[in-house]
Amino acid sequence: MHIAIASDHAALELKALLAEWLAGEGHEVADLGPDSAASVDYPDFGYKLAVAVARGDAERGIALCGSGIGISIAVNREPKARCALVSEPLSAALAREHNDANVIAMGARLIGAEMAKACVTAFLATPFGGDRHQRRVDKLSAPAL
C-alpha cells in the first residue's frame, strides 16, 4: 500500500519510527516532512498530507503532532480527506469500517510507539463496511448546511 506520513516537530521521532516500520512491512512510504526538529507549523504538514491523499498520490495517510488534534483538524479541511484522531486499535478500526477514514492522526506526546503501530495495523487491515455507512460518508464531503 502507498502511505503518506507527515508530522510536526513534536512527532518527528514517532514519524521516523513508523515510516521505517511501514517500509519494513513492505509498504511504499512517502515522508512529507518535516526533516528536522526545528519548530514548524502543523497545519502546513497536515494540508500537504491531505492533498496527497485527495489527489490519490497515497491510498492512506498518517498524521502526527504532539496531541494529534491540530494536525487532524488541518487534514480535515480537505473535503476528500477523512481523518480520525485515534488512540487505540478499536478506534482506528471503527474509523475505517464506519467512516471510511483515509487518514488517521495520533498524538506523539500521548501514545507510545507500540500502541501507534497497533493503531496503524488496525487502520490498514480494516475494510470500509459500506452499506448503511456509505450515505453518511457521502455527506462528509457534501454537507447539507
Peptide bond into 34 cis (omega under 30): yes
In the annotation, is 9 catalytic? no
Catalytic residue (choose from 2, 27, 98, 133)? 98
Query: Residue 39 corresponds to which cell in the numbers above?
Result: 519548530
CA distance 76 to 136: 16
CA distance 122 to 28: 18
In the annotation, is 119 catalytic? no
CA distance 95 to 88: 11
Catalytic residue (choose from 9, 65, 83, 119)? 65
Query: Active-site positions?
Result: 65, 98
